[in-house]
Amino acid sequence: MRYDLNLLPIFVALMEERSVTRAADRLGMTQPALSNALSRLRVMMQDQLFTRERYGVQPTPIALELAPVIAEALARLDDAVLGQQDFDPANAERLFAIAPNGYVEFAIVPAIIARLGRDAPGVKLRLIPYGNDLVETGVSSGATALALGRIVDPPDNLVVTHLLDDGLACVVRTDHPEIGDRISREQFERLKHINVVPPGRMRAGLFQALSQQQLRRDVAISVTNFFAVVEMIAVTDYCATLPKLICRRVAHDRRLKVLPAPVDLGTFPVEMAWHVRYRHDAAHRWLRSLIGEVAANLTPGD
């Protein structure tokens, strides 16, 4: 029997998205085109494959049985094709979609862009919202090349590598009326605080560190990104507890001063995740190596 290989990525997208609308968006197709492709896929596989439910589609038992076989077949095909390709970063024209969390976007991505400008001017990046989990980033399906941040409970089809560990420090305005060169535990607990709320399960990190040290924090406002913190700190008597690499980025602002946290709040890992199908992609390997080198040269400091 002859198989239309063009239909297999559609099967994978439907399997992972469980929605015709989301699968079509992911593949850059119209819904009618995807529905037509699904009809041909059903004929090819001689099964309904997906049945409509109230909030999407559900795979049939045969679809569930076929899913790992098809995923492995596509991965092997990628390995065979991509393994034959060379990559010359100095002359390459390529666009990579990556999903950095807010911390990585602020603290690390600028250094990555600088390296690309020097070593591979034709390579471009498109930043994808990190979302609440790895499915939303697109990395678990391979639609997104890399996810960068704290990787929690990755599926089996992702490879995760460690980039660096960062710590935490405090930021207040330079002329703060109460805070000098250090901040005491009592001052920390008395101040109002700005909290940066990361997505999904990531938000537990700082709260857990504070809880372990039995350190209270009076949160006056919560924001969704690090970019908002600087201006708020500069015009208030608030305090923010931020990763040290973020603090290093804002330390040049004369309106602000960075101080050690009143207690040791530990460290947190920064990781990189990618789909196994990219393990032999020469361009992807090069990008992973470049990001690893950039991260290794970023020292959070004391």
pLDDT band with cut points at 50, 70 and 90 for residue 136: confident
Q: Which two tokens stand for residue 292?
A: 């690893």
**119 and 201 share one domain:** no
Residues 281 and 146 in one domain: yes
Rounded-to-10 torsion of CA 280, 286, 288, 293: 140
Distances (CA, A) of 202 to 193, 211, 215, 276: 19, 15, 19, 24
Using alpha carbons, list the distances in angstroms from residue 138 to 112, 255, 295. 21, 39, 23
Q: Are residues 145 and 233 located together in one domain of the fold?
A: no
Q: What is the CATH number of the domain that holds 38?
A: 1.10.10.10
Do 146 and 177 belong to one domain? no
Q: Are 170 and 259 in contact (CB under 8 A)?
A: yes
In a domain, 135, yes or no: yes
* Among 263, 256, 265, 266, residue whose Cα is nearest residue 179: 256
Residue 65, judged by CB atoms within 10 A of its CB (0-12, 13-18, 19+), counts as exposed
Percentage above 90 pLDDT, the chain: 55
Confidence of residue 80 (pLDDT cuts 50, 70, 90): low
**Is the four-CA dihedral 226, 244, 130, 207 of positive or negative sign?**
negative
Mark whether 119 and 242 lie in a shared domain: no
22, amino acid identity: R
Q: Is residue 125 part of a domain?
A: yes
Q: Are residues 194 and 259 in the same domain?
A: yes
Please indicate, yes or no, if residue 177 is contained in any of the structural domains: yes
Assess whether pLDDT exceeds 90 at residue 208: no
63 and 131 together in one domain: no
Asked if residue 109 is part of any domain, the answer here is yes
Report pLDDT for 206. 78
Q: Among 268, 259, 212, which residue's Cα sits nearest to residue 233?
A: 259
Q: Considering the entire predicted model, what is its pTM?
A: 0.72
In a domain, 175, yes or no: yes
Same domain, 153 and 131: yes
pLDDT at residue 83 in the model? 54
Residue 39 is assigned to a structural domain of this protein: yes
- The domain tally of the chain equals 3
Q: Residue 194: is its pLDDT beyond 70? A: yes
Give the Cα separation of 159 and 137 in Å (integer). Answer: 15
pLDDT at 114 over 80: yes
- Both 28 and 114 in a single domain? no
Q: How many C-beta atoms lie closer than 10 Å to residue 120's C-beta?
A: 21
Give the contacts of 205 (CB within 8 A, at least 6 positions apart).
Answer: 150, 198, 268
Query: Higher confidence at residue 288 or residue 199?
Result: 288
> Is 161 in the same domain as 198?
no
Domain final residue, candidates 82, 115, 136:
82
Looking at the fold, whether 155 and 175 belong to one and the same domain comes out as no
Q: Which residue, 58, 82, 106, sits at the end of a domain?
A: 82
Average pLDDT for the chain: 88
Residue 301 lies inside a defined structural domain of this protein: no
CATH number at residue 153: 3.40.190.10
Dig out the tokens for 250 from the structure: 């804002």
Position 211 in a domain: yes
Residue 6 CB-density burial (10 A; 0-12 exposed, 13-18 middle, 19+ buried): exposed
14: closest CA among 6, 4, 25, 23?
A: 23
**Domain ends where: 27, 54, 82?**
82
Structural element, H or E, at residue 158: strand 158-166
Per-residue CA distances from 268 to 59, 229, 253, 292 (Å) = 38, 20, 25, 17
Domain range for residue 50? 5-82
282 and 160 within one domain: yes
Tens digit of each residue's pLDDT (9 = 90 or more) over 20-48: 988 888 788 888 999 999 999 999 999 99
- In terms of Cα–Cα distance, which of 173, 165, 198 is closest to 299? 165
